[in-house]
Structure 1
Amino acid sequence: MTPPPSRTAPRWFVAGDLNGFFGLVVDNLSILGFIAMALVGIFGVPAEIVFGRMFPGTALGVLLGNLAYTWMARRLAARTGRDDVTAMPLGLDAPTSIGMALLVLGPAFLAFRADGLDAEAAGIATWQLGMASLVVMGVLKTVLSFAGDWITRVLPRAALLGSIGGAALTLLGFLPLVELLRNPVVGMVTFGLLLYVLVARGSLPVRIPGVLLAFLVGTALYYGLGLAGLGVPGFALPEPVRLSPQLPLPGLGFIDGLPATVPYLPLLLPFGLLMVVGGINVSESARAAGDDYRTRDVLLVEAFSTLAAGLCGGVAQTTPYIGQPAYKQMGARSGYTLLTGLFVGIGGMLGVVAGLVQWLPLAVLAPIIVYVGIGITVQAFEATPARHAPAVVLAFLPSLAYLLGIKLGNPDWISPEHFAALYAQTGAHGLPELAVLVTLGNGFIITAMLWATALVAMVEGRLRAAAGVLLLCAGLSLVGVVHSVDPRGGVYLPWSLDGLRAVIAWQFAGGYAALAALLGLLSLQRMRPR
């Protein structure tokens, strides 16, 4: 007869919680640091707005989510009588948080500036857009929390993981790689040390988390070389932004940002969808490690924390991390999520987190982002059936077009006048090449999902299903959800287009429709057994 569970309350902290705390805090600080470096250093958003307005609400989401997961772990431990239950780790999602900075907030700030707003007014408008974006994704995740299993049945893993894998390879891999190589000594040493401890699983002479060691070595090298006059040109000690404590309270500022979210919906909606699918996978991973959390509870917590962050001024969504079994192997239980939530949440409100982030060099932050991009890309292949690998590769291609669009849209490379006139040109042998690149890149995540879904259906012999997906692509391309002919990626009604823009939109839609018709005809033949 099985003995009844013990009613002894689980311990609040164990030795392994310290390792888990350092690992989870470094993950969150690195993402916050890259967001700040991208917005302030690359796009010129005022630092006071990033650190004083965006960070407190973003940190609040991490606090609320980790408190909820701590409570869930203690409840599971008490119910089962086990003292080895490990809480779900929650933090800022690396791909979508960095994607928000590079693809939504930064470009939006430049657009507001181009519309005549000064830096402060454009920064406030960008902050409100970020808040609204989180509210949109939070509402979407709340609704999809009740349909997570259906989503995973409809969309193959090649589509879900391939689309985010392409973004990870290009935006999290390539762009930060360029940044770390702008300071080669610091960047290469930090990146190489990360690869040694995280990929090669090499041993260290000291018993501290490998990521923390890489950060300490890289930061010391950066400031040591810089102060000795051996660093790269332009080295200077940071000028910390003076911040007063900010208590993020719910407000209605997101309402002013809602209209500005419309052009970015083809990015925001897939961002929210991917977190729901990721939450399902994380729940299964924790269940395999012995901690049976209810999937719907895991999803609702991440949806609630994202929504709360948006209402209180946050700009980056939270998610449960895939590494719950790894934290379990470290010996972490429920104390590490409690410590992380309190440190990031309260530190974000008091300005402590912002102070730490300001001293983290981009050459030290970029390597961890590159590693994250590599890991996500590898997972896209490992978690997908081998015969669907071509669909994963196909899903990578639209992100390459988006990457080229980012670089070609840089005014240091191509004049704004020339870039703005790209749809007024004519091609000698077809549509203008630059216009095709921008059109292919707009809505690239949804495009990647649909392309991979159609190819998986072809591989499995479901030609009519593939034709249906292609017809959906045709319809979405006519309204700009995918292949928007608006350089900013906005949506529209097809009859509002004129000139070459209309030609491009109808040509893309016609291509999808013609291929769908061909597959429909092929489906009428007798299929040979596979």
Structure 2
Amino acid sequence: MTPPPARHAPRWFVAGDFNGFFGLLVDNLSILGFIAMALVGIYGVPAEVVFTRMFPGTALGVLLGNLAYTWMARRLARRTGRDDVTAMPLGLDAPTSIGMALLVLGPAFAAFRADGLDDQAAAIATWQLGMAALVVMGLLKTVLSFAGDWITRALPRAALLGSIGGAALALLGFLPLVELLRNPVVGLVTFGLLLYVLVARGALPLRIPGVLLAFLVGTALYYGLGLAGLGVPGFAVPEPVRLSPQLPLLGIGFLEGLPSTVPYLPLLLPFGLLMVVGGINVSESARAAGDDYRTRDVLLVEALSTLVAGVCGGVAQTTPYIGQPAYKQMGARSGYTLLTGLFVGIGGMLGIVAGLVQWLPLAVLAPIIVYVGIGITVQAFHATPARHAPAVALAFLPSLAYLLSIKLGNPAWIAPERFAALYADTGAHGLPELAALVTLGNGFIITAMLWATLLVAMIEGRMRAAAGVLLLCAVLTLFGVIHSVDPRGGIYLPWTLEGLRAVIAWQFAGAYGALALLVGALSLQRGQAQPSPSPDRI
């Protein structure tokens, strides 16, 4: 029976909200920290522009999105009469924020300087480009939001959770794990303390939120060891940038940046599409954890908060985080998103967030992200029928290719000229190994969803459906939606490809087509069963 409506409004705060607040806050601060590190440290963008122009509008998107998700959680709690409803966590998206910094904003700043602009003028032009890019992605996400409910009905849970579980394991688990191990004393102590309080549910001698305690211990270790000369090489106390309060600038400044977005559309449009797919996945993840939010509402909130952030000066898109079950396990309800939104939004305008970003060590920020990644990966298996577990595991593999592409594409590891040579080196036989790796990683979330859907259809004996998925893979491959042969992951028209890239695209598409014909032929066998869809569908 459906629980009766709650007689009393749900509480604004419970004890778990404070753990959730510090966890979600750290997630957002870590991404802001990376953006600042990449733009200021790698490309030389003036810090004043990053902190006082890009950050306030970006923080406003986090504020608006979290306020909306808080309201949605309280509405669901009142409607169902439950007091254990956990709000969807919203923050800055890690993969696309990294992509914006390294593939769009940083190179654009370098290009503007090459065109003769001084640093300040180039930084302003880069900021306007970032605003316009966010508006483009926000509009795309708004349009696609209305297809969310249909997609959740059409795809099996293994595809939805497996694809996001792979991203969690590779990008939220492994990458931050490497970063925390670069400062092992600080990183491992912080991580171990988090595992003790959040996974093992261990008791603490002090009545203090476990995440906050781990945060304080890690930060104290970092600066204590560093100042004592016992820290890792390269330790230095940051020189704070002088900041002043700065409100988001509502206006039409993004219009000046629109023409500059055209060369970057092959990157920006997949970034927006990736967030729609991710939003669908996290809605399914929350539903599997017991909180039935409407997918369209979840998608519209992230789309509109991204759009408003872009109009007001932001440069990184917001997204519902894939860790809602992990926050639910912490005991968080709706107060943690309210606290996070207010802190990041108001703190971003007052310069508080920028000040924190300058002082927080990455070895302390990374462990909480690893924990969230572990929780999502585990849930992908727990919430999926046991016979579909191979499809979940299969969905993890494209994420691993994307992980390797990120590392190998780092100019500090492999010079761009050497990377291009390896990408084109066919060797004795077959396609270039690096090209195959990059091609598999490009569009990895959509690839993972399609692969898992294919395998679920085969497991259920629906071979014609499996053949249809394969044909769809072939078509999407030709246009670069999955398996893009552009090393940056851009989309294109297949007839514009030349040379090795054309060969790779047609080989991948041909492989899907050939397998579709084989699977289609197998479906014609006499007595071929066509079982009903699995009950895991929504």
TM alignment of 1:265-276, pairs within 5 A = 265-276=269-280
1:32 offset after TM fit, Å? 2.3
TM-score w.r.t. structure 2 length?
A: 0.85
More displaced 10-residue stretch of structure 1: 297-306 or 499-508: 297-306
**Aligned counterparts, 1:71-110, within 5 A:** 71=71, 88=87, 90-92=89-91, 97-110=93-106
Distance 1:432 1:6, change over 3 A: closer
* 1:345 alignment partner in structure 2: 345
Question: What's the offset of the Cα at 1:189?
Answer: 0.3
- The aligned residue for residue 37 of structure 2 is 40
Range with greater deviation from structure 2 (126-135 or 376-385): 126-135
When residues 446 and 124 of structure 1 are mapped into structure 2, their CA distance, relative to the original with a 3 A threshold, is farther
Give the match for residue 159 of structure 1.
159
Partner-residue secondary structure (3-state), 1:367: helix
CA distance in structure 2 between the aligned counterparts of 1:203 and 1:156, rounded to whole angstroms: 39
Deviation at 1:265? 2.9
Shift of 1:163: 1.8
Equivalent position of 1:499 in the other structure:
499
In structure 1, the residue matched to 2:230 is 230
For the 8 Å contact 2:161–2:281, the answer to whether it is kept is: no
Are 2:108 and 1:112 aligned?
yes
Kindly state the Cα deviation for residue 408 of structure 1 after the two structures are TM-superposed.
Answer: 2.1
Contact 1:141 1:272 survives alignment (8 Å): yes
Secondary structure, counterpart of 1:29 in structure 2: helix
Change over 3 Å in CA distance of 1:172–1:287 after alignment to 2:
closer
Answering whether residue 320 of structure 2 is matched by residue 319 of structure 1, we say yes
Aligned-pair CA distance for 1:78: 8.0
Greater displacement, 18-27 / 59-68: 18-27
Aligned-partner Cα distance in 2 for 1:177–1:395: 21
**Is 2:254 the counterpart of 1:255?**
no
Within a 5 Å distance, the mapping from 1:45-56 to structure 2 comes to 46=45, 47-56=47-56
* Pairs within 5 Å for 1:139-178: 139-178=139-178
Deviation at 1:69, TM superposition (A): 4.5
Which whole-Å deviations, capped at 9, do the CAs of 1:126-158 have from their partners, x for residues lacking one? 545554454344334434544433211112222
Task: Classify the secondary structure of the residue corresponding to 2:90.
Answer: strand
Bigger shift: residues 136-145 or 406-415: 136-145
Contact 1:89 1:324 in 2 (8 A): no
- Residue 266 of structure 1 aligns with an amino acid whose one-letter code is P
Q: Cα–Cα, structure 1 residues 56 and 29, in superposed 2: closer, same or farther, change >3 Å?
A: farther
**Does the C-alpha gap of structure 1 residues 238 and 325 become closer, same or farther in structure 2, counting only changes over 3 Å?**
closer
Cα separation, 2, equivalents of 1:263 and 1:202: 44
Q: Report if aligned partners of 1:60, 1:248 keep a CA contact under 8 Å in 2.
A: yes
Any residues of structure 2 matched to 1:125-524 within 5 Å, and which?
A: 127-128=127-128, 130-252=130-252, 253=254, 255-256=258-259, 258-259=261-262, 260-279=264-283, 281-282=285-286, 285=289, 287=291, 297-314=297-314, 315-319=316-320, 323=324, 337-524=337-524
Runs of 5+ in structure 1 lacking a partner? none
Distance 1:152 1:129, change over 3 A: farther
Distance 1:186 1:463, change over 3 A: same
Deviation at 1:123, TM superposition (A): 5.2
Rate the CA distance shift 1:343–1:367 in 2: closer, same or farther, 3 A: same
Give the Å deviation of 1:516: 0.6
Give the conservation status (yes or no) of the 8 Å contact 2:10–2:78: no
CA contact (8 A) 2:240 2:355 kept: yes
Please give the TM-score of this superposition, normalised by the length of structure 1: 0.86
Partner of residue 535, structure 2? none
Identify the range of structure 1 (118-127 vs 446-455) with the bigger mean alpha-carbon deviation: 118-127
In 1, distance between residues paired with 2:396 and 2:187? 26
Q: CA deviation at 1:445?
A: 1.8
**What is the deviation of 1:220?**
0.5
Describe the SS at the equivalent of 1:92: strand
Q: Distance in 2 between matches of 1:178 and 1:6?
A: 46
Residue 67 of structure 2 aligns with which residue?
A: 67
- Rounded to whole Å, the distance in 2 between the matches of 1:43 and 1:167 is 26
Give the 3-state SS of the residue equivalent to 1:204 in structure 2.
coil
- Counterpart contact for 1:148–1:280, Cα < 8 Å: no
1:20 aligns to 2:17 (yes or no): yes
Shift of 1:287: 4.7
Contact (CA 8 Å) 2:105, 2:130: kept in 1 or not?
no
Change (3 A) 1:272 1:32: farther
**For structure 2, which runs of at least 5 residues remain unmatched after alignment?**
532-538
Amino acid at match of 1:108: V
Residues 71 and 370 from structure 1, CA distance in 2 versus in 1: closer, same or farther, beyond 3 angstroms? closer
Q: Give distance in 1, aligned partners of 2:128 and 2:371.
A: 31
Q: Secondary structure at the match of 1:421?
A: helix
C-alpha distance in 2 between matches for 1:210 and 1:56 = 29
In the TM superposition, residue 160 of structure 1 has moved relative to its aligned partner by 1.9
Q: Which residue of 2 aligns with 1:57?
A: 57
Distance 1:512 1:239 in 2: 54
What is the deviation of 1:76? 7.1
Separation of aligned partners in 1, 2:7 and 2:413: 67
CA 1:484 to 1:297, structure 2 compared with 1: closer, same or farther past 3 Å? Answer: closer
In the alignment, residue 101 of structure 1 is paired with which amino acid?
Answer: S
Secondary structure of 2:165's counterpart equals helix
Identical-pair percentage? 68
SS at match of 2:176: helix
Sort the Cα spacing of 1:244 and 1:326 in 2 relative to 1 into closer, same or farther, 3 A: closer
* 1:316 counterpart letter in structure 2: Q
Report how far residue 299 of structure 1 moved: 4.7
Give secondary structure in 2 for the equivalent of 1:177: helix
Residues 473, 512 of structure 2: 8 Å contact kept: yes
Distance 1:512-1:129 versus aligned 2 partners, 3 A rule? farther
Cα 1:63–1:381 change in 2 (3 A) is same
CA shift for structure 1 position 217: 0.4
Q: Is the 8 A contact 2:142 2:300 kept in 1?
A: yes
Quick one: distance in 2 between partners of 1:510 and 1:372? Answer: 38
Q: Distance in 1 between matches of 2:128 and 2:284?
A: 30
Q: Which amino acid aligns with 1:312?
A: C
The 3-state SS of whatever aligns with 1:240 is coil
Shift of 1:262: 2.2
| Residues 158 and 384 in structure 2, CA contact (< 8 A), matched pair in contact too | yes
Letter in 1 for 2:385: P
